[in-house]
């Protein structure tokens, strides 16, 4: 349809930049999605429905976590079935740091003392660093394998983190860890639901912008080639493994940051955030929205949370219907919501 | 020492259960190239059918037969309706579609039978225990599970290496086009292999259901352990599944018992319990990472 | 032969009972096309894989411009100036021709861990890529996705990708395979023009092209080189006629 009809007519035209613009359907859909996400909670806030503001924050953070996963799955072709590890670990960084700040005990006493902190800035930085390091270790082993092995190994490593959190009693074990008071930012009231939503929204915008920018860069070109044709990349003189590993780490950092915010949203972190169901749901969101589409995770997250809220209001067995919808999308609508709304896309 | 022997047998019992799950998974992957997350659902179906029919008839054996049949039937049905559309799809699609099947099976079962567990008792004839060397007693039923697992392993070996069906399965693993050219009805072979894998999962679920409780989601922890098993053993290799299952079963069981005991020697007992159990929970994953660091395709890689 | 750009010395590779490469020594000198021919199953693909780095030889060595490369990876060899094309086209189908070539230029300019500057505005990438395309007369197709190209055009893109690496050696694996007489003649012309800039090790089935292009020919049979010389010598060699031409 919109498929590059111009390509043979304009031989020297610049390569199309995968950006949003006002002039095409995709750009309008992207801006529309962001507008809905921003305006709905604003309206709800001024009408006094705080529940919907928090719901919008939830959509935003799940979308952000899926943006991270999309970098691995959609752009890098690395089907990670273990991104809950980073989402949950980000959450635990927020929880543990707040726990020690509350208790006035150090997080680590040796070899250097690291105190707890209830500053979001410190927590975000810590979440990004810790998740990056975990992804570096997991990725270094997992990326030696491909295909099904990679899927199962990422799953298994995430389970390892899950069981660890489940059986380590200091931070609540399977009961999880409450955050009694939402962590703070200088000069901002993070307790206010709308303010907190705007922080989350900023995080989402930042991760979208970062992904878009990275994918247009040399690194993105190499990552795209690693996904499409690994042999071509190596023959061109670029080793695929380090490119994939770095993309995997960046992906985990984005998902981890979303996890830290998610724990603050709920005031609670538990092994559920680390479970393989969470990994599966993040994948589902990426697929529902459209794999490898910049705004796919946002469309997927909106759809997912809407189904959860609407169907969940009708029946407690709503996941049965989620399963049926998902099965339908996988079998019959391969390009997801974004493919349906904004047309197909060339990589 | 008696504790060690007892736990070693427990590990073997877990290992044989894992083998029943893993052999089906690995066969389905080897023959059809399909990654099936819904395999744990057949485990659950087997357990539910066994529990319901046993309760209705009062006979564990009739229940067990019903459980295996139900799992095989559900497996065949799922293959016919959904799975056969996935063989030529990327792994990502297979993961998602079978993840969707898990949601459908789990929530559907919860809807039909509720969230509270069903109870299934081992047959009275097997409820006793026998003396182990060293004096402690060990339940007969668990030994029977090990025996069934060994029988299945031997049966699979004979099936694959000695029978016509086995020949076709082996041909399907090495060259899918070839068996088509030989005139084998591939569609029927695939349905059969899938149903067979489901039946083995159902058998495992039914037998373990009598040890633990029968409830929604019971298949999932086992499924993930089975994944670890086949990754360690080499995806597609039945032999790998056997060795992997025993290794994982024994290491996991012994780790959970002995790591806390080990740490108690230099910590307070509550600390030791915490560190020990956390480390034990991670043990098989560490084992898997180590094995993959040296053999990225597992111990017995069937084919590249 | 100290002036050789690429030299193989006593390469051996064995798969179980099959000796796929048997004591192969050959070299490639500046300004020449050295053709490697042989019947199916002679071990050409195995030999190429060892030169390109996707297979490691059991024994023997490979030198590129005097440097030992036997234990280097595919990517490392490419960075040292080994450009290659594949027997079965291995381009990224959904991407445009220009994008496929740009990745090689990008590799030439150092590491790819640059996350900020967009490549579609990066003249330092675009200009050399267009250049390589011009050399293969592909400029008008620069913005066409590879999936829409003809078979012959894909072959040319393959060579353009290799050229964009500014290679010291070109390793072309059956570039004429599947081309009609016209396409094959056209590619022959392009390669002839190229050989003075970069020496070519050519693996080819098309005998017309080989006899027209090659300065020297080596004949590979059952993993070993059985004859070596210019095209006249090879045409006359009785062993070659028997083993290969089937007389």
Nearest chain A Cα to C162, which residue? A236
CB A168 within 8 A of CB A119: no
Going by C-beta distance under 8 Å and a sequence separation of 6 or more, which residues neighbour residue C142?
A11, A12, C96, C97, C98, C130, C133
Phi, psi of C69 (to 5 degrees): -120, 10
**Residue B185: CB atoms within 10 Å:** 12
β-pairing, C224-229 vs A114-115, is unpaired
pLDDT tier at B182 (50, 70, 90 boundaries)? low
Token couple for A14: 């610049």
Mean pLDDT of A290-318: 90
Q: Is the pLDDT of residue A33 over 60?
A: yes
| Nearest partner of C202 among C26, C23, C18, judged by Cα | C26
Name every residue whose Cβ is closer than 8 Å to that of residue A49 and which is 6 or more positions away in sequence.
none
pLDDT for B15: 94
DSSP string for residues in A213-239: HHHHBHHHHHHHHHHH-HHHHHHTT--
At residue A18 the predicted structure's pLDDT band, cuts being 50, 70 and 90, is very low
Give the separation between CA C119 and CA C109, rounded to whole angstroms. Answer: 13
* Cα C192 off chain centre by: 14
How far, CA to CA in Å, does B116 sit from each of B26, B41, B111, B264?
32, 17, 11, 37
Model confidence at A4: pLDDT above 50: no
Quick check: B288 and A153 in contact, CB under 8 A?
yes
| Average of per-residue pLDDT across A173-182 | 90
Specify the pLDDT at position C230. 87
**Per-residue pLDDT tens over the stretch C15-66:** 888 888 999 999 999 989 999 988 887 888 889 999 999 899 999 999 998 8
CB contact under 8 A, A246 and C103: no
Identify the residue with better confidence: B204 or B88.
Answer: B204
Alpha helix positions (H), chain A: 25-46, 50-70, 84-103, 120-142, 147-167, 193-216, 218-228, 230-235, 240-266, 276-289, 296-314, 318-332, 336-342
Domain B2-118+132-294, CATH among 1.10.3470, 3.40.50, 1.10.1740, 3.30.310:
1.10.3470
Rounded to an integer, the average pLDDT of A171-176 is: 88
Chain A residues within 8 angstroms (CB to CB) of chain B: 73, 79, 81, 141, 144-145, 147-149, 151-153, 155-157, 159-160, 163-164, 166-170, 276, 280, 283-284, 287, 291, 317-320, 322-324, 326-327, 330-331, 334
CA-to-CA distance for A250 and A211, rounded, in angstroms?
Answer: 9
Cis preceding-peptide flag for A207 (omega within 30 of 0): no
Name the band, by pLDDT with cuts 50, 70 and 90, for residue A204. Answer: very high
pLDDT for the residue numbered C221 = 87
pLDDT of residue B174: 65
Confidence of residue A146 (pLDDT cuts 50, 70, 90): confident
SS3 B42: helix
Q: What is the mean pLDDT of residues B160-180?
A: 73
Least confident segment among A263-277, B122-136, B173-187, C116-130:
B173-187
Under an 8 A CB cutoff, do A236 and C106 touch?
yes
Residue whose token pair is 């295909």:
A147
Q: Determine the pLDDT at residue A344.
A: 67
The SS3 of residue B296 is coil
- Measured between alpha carbons, how far is B99 from B112 in angstroms, rounded to an integer? 20
Q: Which residue has the tokens 């067990």?
A: B64
Calculate the average pLDDT of chain B: 87
pLDDT average, residue stretch A271-285: 94
Interchain CB contacts (distance < 8 Å): A and C: 127
Among A145, A168, A322, the residue with its CB nearest the CB of B103 is: A322
Is some CB atom of chain C closer than 8 A to the CB atom of A120?
A: no
Say whether pLDDT at B120 is over 50.
Answer: yes
Q: What is the pLDDT of residue A5?
A: 32
SS3 assignment, position B132? coil
Task: Select the CATH number that applies to the domain covering A25-342 from these four: 1.10.3470, 3.40.50, 3.30.70, 3.30.420.
Answer: 1.10.3470
d(CA B2, CA C47): 60
What's the token pair of residue A221? 């070109």
| Reduced 3-state DSSP string for B175-228 | CHHHHHHCCCCHHHHHHHHHHHHHHHHHHHHHHHHCCCCECCCCHHHHHHHHHH
Facing residue for B235 by CB, picked from A148, A287, A322: A148
B154 Cβ contact list (under 8 Å, min separation 6): none
In chain C, the domains with their CATH numbers are 1-81+168-247 (3.40.50.300), 90-166 (no CATH)
Kindly report the nearest CA distance between residue A307 and chain B, in angstroms: 14
Any idea where the domains of chain B sit in the sequence? 2-118+132-294
Task: At B36, list the tokens.
Answer: 């099936």
Question: Domain-by-domain residue ranges, chain A?
Answer: 25-342
DSSP label at C172?
A: E
Calculate mean pLDDT across residues B95-120. 91
Identify the pLDDT of residue A132. 97
Candidates A11, A225, A239; nearest CB to C103 = A225
Q: With bands split at pLDDT 50, 70 and 90, how would you rate the model's confidence at A115?
A: confident
Chains interfacing with C (3 or more CB pairs < 8 Å)? A
How many other C-beta atoms lie within 10 A of the C-beta of residue B115? 11
| Cβ B205 vs Cβ B220: under 8 Å | no
pTM score: 0.89
pLDDT, tens digit, for every residue of A207-220? Answer: 999 999 999 999 99
Extract the tokens encoding B221: 């922890």
- How high is the pLDDT of residue B175? 65
Encode chain C (247 residues) as per-residue pLDDT tens digits.
Answer: 457 899 999 999 988 888 889 999 999 999 899 999 888 878 888 899 999 998 999 999 999 988 999 999 999 999 999 999 888 778 998 999 999 999 999 988 888 888 888 888 889 999 999 999 998 888 899 999 999 998 888 888 988 999 898 899 999 988 888 788 888 888 888 888 888 889 999 998 778 788 888 999 999 888 899 888 888 888 888 877 776 655 4
- pLDDT at residue A3 above 60? no
Contacts with A135 (C-beta within 8 Å, 6 or more apart), sequence order: A86, A248, A249, A251, A252, A253
Cα A19 to Cα A31: distance, rounded to the nearest angstrom: 11
List chain B residues with CB under 8 Å of A322.
100, 103
**pLDDT value at B181 more than 80:** no
* Distance from the B93 Cα atom to the nearest Cα atom in chain A, whole angstroms: 6
Task: Give residue A8's pLDDT band: very low, low, confident or very high (50, 70, 90).
Answer: very low
Chain A residue numbers with beta carbons less than 8 Å from the beta carbon of C76 are 237, 239
Residue A17: what pLDDT? 45
Only one residue has tokens 């089907």, namely A79
- Tell me: pLDDT of B53 over 90: yes
What's the CA gap between B75 and C238, in Å, rounded?
A: 64
What is the SS3 assignment for A306? helix
| Residue A22 binned pLDDT confidence (cut-offs 50, 70, 90) | very low
Across the A:B interface, residue pairs with CB atoms under 8 Å apart total 125
CB contact under 8 A, A326 and B99: yes
Is A10 a residue whose pLDDT tops 80?
A: no
A214, C115: Cβ pair inside 8 Å?
yes
Give the chain C residue nearest A250 (alpha carbons).
C115
For position A106, what pLDDT does the model report?
83
Residue with the bigger pLDDT between B239 and B176: it is B239
Query: What's the confidence (pLDDT) of residue B304?
Result: 40
Q: Which of A8-12, A229-233, B216-220, C136-140 has the lowest mean pLDDT?
A: A8-12
Task: In whole angstroms, give the CA distance from residue B266 to residue B268.
Answer: 7
C33 neighbors C214 (Cβ within 8 angstroms): yes
Q: What is the pLDDT of residue A267?
A: 94
Nearest chain C CA: its distance from A346 CA (Å): 7
Which CA distances in Å does A316 have to A188, A270, A304, A309, B233? 38, 22, 15, 11, 40
A8 touches chain C (CB under 8 A): yes
CA distance to partner chain C, nearest, from residue A7 (Å): 6
By three-state DSSP, how is residue A203 classified? helix
pLDDT for C15 equals 87
In DSSP terms, which residues pair with C173 in a beta bridge?
C203
Residue B30, pLDDT score: 83
The pLDDT of residue B302 is: 55
Torsion, CA C101, CA C104, CA C110, CA C113, rounded to 10: 70
pLDDT tens for residues C146-164?
A: 999 988 888 889 889 998 9
Cα separation, A299 vs B73, in Å, equals 38
Q: Quote the pLDDT of residue B183.
A: 63
Q: Residue A117's pLDDT is what?
A: 86
């Amino acid at each position: 349809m919109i498929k590059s009809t111009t390509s043979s007519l304009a031989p020297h035209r610049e390569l199309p930049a995968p950006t949003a613009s006002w002039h095409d359907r995709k750009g309008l859909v992207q801006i529309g999605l962001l507008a809905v996400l921003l305006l709905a909670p604003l309206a709800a806030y001024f009408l006094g429905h705080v529940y919907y503001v928090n719901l919008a924050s939830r959509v935003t953070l799940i979308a952000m976590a899926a943006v991270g996963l999309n970098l691995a799955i959609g752009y890098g072709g690395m089907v990670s079935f273990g991104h809950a590890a980073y989402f949950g670990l980000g959450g635990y960084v927020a929880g543990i740091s707040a726990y020690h700040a509350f208790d006035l005990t150090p997080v680590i006493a040796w070899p250097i003392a690291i105190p707890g902190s209830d500053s979001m800035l410190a927590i975000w930085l810590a979440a990004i660093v810790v998740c990056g390091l975990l992804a570096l270790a997991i990725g270094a082993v997992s990326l030696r394998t491909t295909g099904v092995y990679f899927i199962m190994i990422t799953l298994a490593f995430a389970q390892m983190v899950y069981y660890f959190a489940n059986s380590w009693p200091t931070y609540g074990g399977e009961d999880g860890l409450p955050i009694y008071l939402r962590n703070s930012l200088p000069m901002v009231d993070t307790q206010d639901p709308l303010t907190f939503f705007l922080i989350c929204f900023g995080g989402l915008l930042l991760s979208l912008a970062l992904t878009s920018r990275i994918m247009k860069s040399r690194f993105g070109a190499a990552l795209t080639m690693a996904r499409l044709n690994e042999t071509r990349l190596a023959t061109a003189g670029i080793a695929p493994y380090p490119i994939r590993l770095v993309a995997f780490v960046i992906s985990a950092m984005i998902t981890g940051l979303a996890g830290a915010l998610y724990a603050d949203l709920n005031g609670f972190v538990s092994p559920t955030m680390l479970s393989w169901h969470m990994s599966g749901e993040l994948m589902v969101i990426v697929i529902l929205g459209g794999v490898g589409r910049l705004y796919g995770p946002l469309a997927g997250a909106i759809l997912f949370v809407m189904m959860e809220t609407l169907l969940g209001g009708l029946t407690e067995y709503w996941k049965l219907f989620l399963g049926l919808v998902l099965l339908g999308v996988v079998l019959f609508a391969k390009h997801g919501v974004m493919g349906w709304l904004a047309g197909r896309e060339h990589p | 020492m008696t504790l060690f022997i007892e736990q070693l047998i427990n590990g073997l019992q877990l290992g044989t259960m894992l083998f029943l799950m893993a052999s089906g998974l690995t066969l389905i992957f080897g023959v059809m190239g399909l990654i099936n997350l819904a395999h744990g659902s057949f485990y659950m179906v087997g357990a539910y059918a066994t529990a319901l029919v046993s309760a209705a008839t009062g006979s564990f054996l009739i229940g067990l037969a019903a459980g295996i049949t139900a799992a095989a039937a559900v497996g065949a049905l799922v293959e016919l309706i959904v799975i056969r559309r996935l063989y030529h799809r990327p792994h990502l699609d297979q993961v998602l579609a079978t993840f969707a099947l898990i949601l459908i099976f789990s929530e559907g079962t919860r809807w039909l039978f509720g969230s509270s567990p069903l109870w299934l008792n081992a047959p009275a004839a097997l409820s006793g225990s026998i003396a182990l060397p060293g004096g402690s007693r060990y339940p007969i039923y668990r030994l029977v599970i090990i025996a069934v697992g060994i029988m299945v392993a031997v049966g699979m070996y004979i099936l694959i290496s000695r029978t016509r069906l086995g020949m076709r399965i082996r041909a399907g693993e090495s060259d899918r086009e070839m068996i088509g050219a030989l005139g084998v009805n591939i569609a029927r072979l695939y349905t059969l292999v899938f149903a067979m894998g489901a039946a083995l999962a159902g058998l495992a679920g039914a037998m373990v259901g009598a040890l633990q409780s029968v409830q929604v989601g019971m298949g999932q922890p086992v499924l993930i352990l089975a994944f670890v098993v086949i990754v360690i053993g080499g995806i597609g290799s039945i032999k790998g599944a056997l060795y992997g299952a025993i290794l994982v079963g024994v290491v996991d069981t012994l780790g959970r018992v002995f790591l806390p005991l080990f740490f108690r020697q230099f910590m307070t007992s509550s600390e030791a319990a915490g560190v020990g159990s956390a480390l034990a929970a991670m043990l098989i994953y560490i084992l898997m990472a180590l094995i993959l660091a040296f053999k990225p395709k597992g111990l017995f890689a069937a084919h590249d | 032969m100290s002036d050789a750009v690429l030299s193989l010395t006593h390469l051996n590779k064995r798969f179980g009972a099959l000796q796929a490469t048997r004591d192969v020594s050959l070299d490639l000198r500046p300004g020449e096309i050295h053709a490697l021919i042989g019947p199916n199953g002679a071990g050409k693909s195995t030999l190429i894989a060892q030169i390109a780095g996707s297979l490691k030889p059991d024994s023997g060595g490979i030198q590129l411009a005097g440097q030992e490369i036997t234990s280097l990876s595919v990517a490392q060899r490419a960075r040292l100036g080994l450009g290659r094309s594949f027997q079965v086209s291995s381009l990224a189908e959904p991407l445009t021709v220009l994008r496929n070539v740009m990745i090689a230029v990008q590799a030439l300019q150092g590491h790819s861990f640059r996350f900020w500057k967009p490549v579609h505005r990066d003249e330092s990438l675009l200009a050399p890529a267009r250049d390589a395309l011009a050399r293969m007369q592909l400029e008008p197709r620069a913005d066409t996705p590879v999936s829409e190209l003809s078979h012959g055009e894909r072959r040319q893109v393959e060579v353009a990708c290799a050229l964009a690496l500014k290679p010291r050696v070109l390793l072309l694996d059956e570039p004429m395979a599947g081309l009609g007489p016209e396409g094959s003649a056209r590619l022959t012309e392009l390669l002839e023009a190229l050989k003075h800039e970069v020496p070519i090790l050519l693996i080819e089935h098309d005998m017309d092209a080989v006899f027209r292009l090659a300065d020297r020919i080596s004949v590979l049979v059952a993993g070993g080189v059985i004859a070596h010389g210019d095209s006249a010598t090879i045409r006359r060699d009785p062993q070659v006629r028997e083993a290969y031409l089937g007389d």
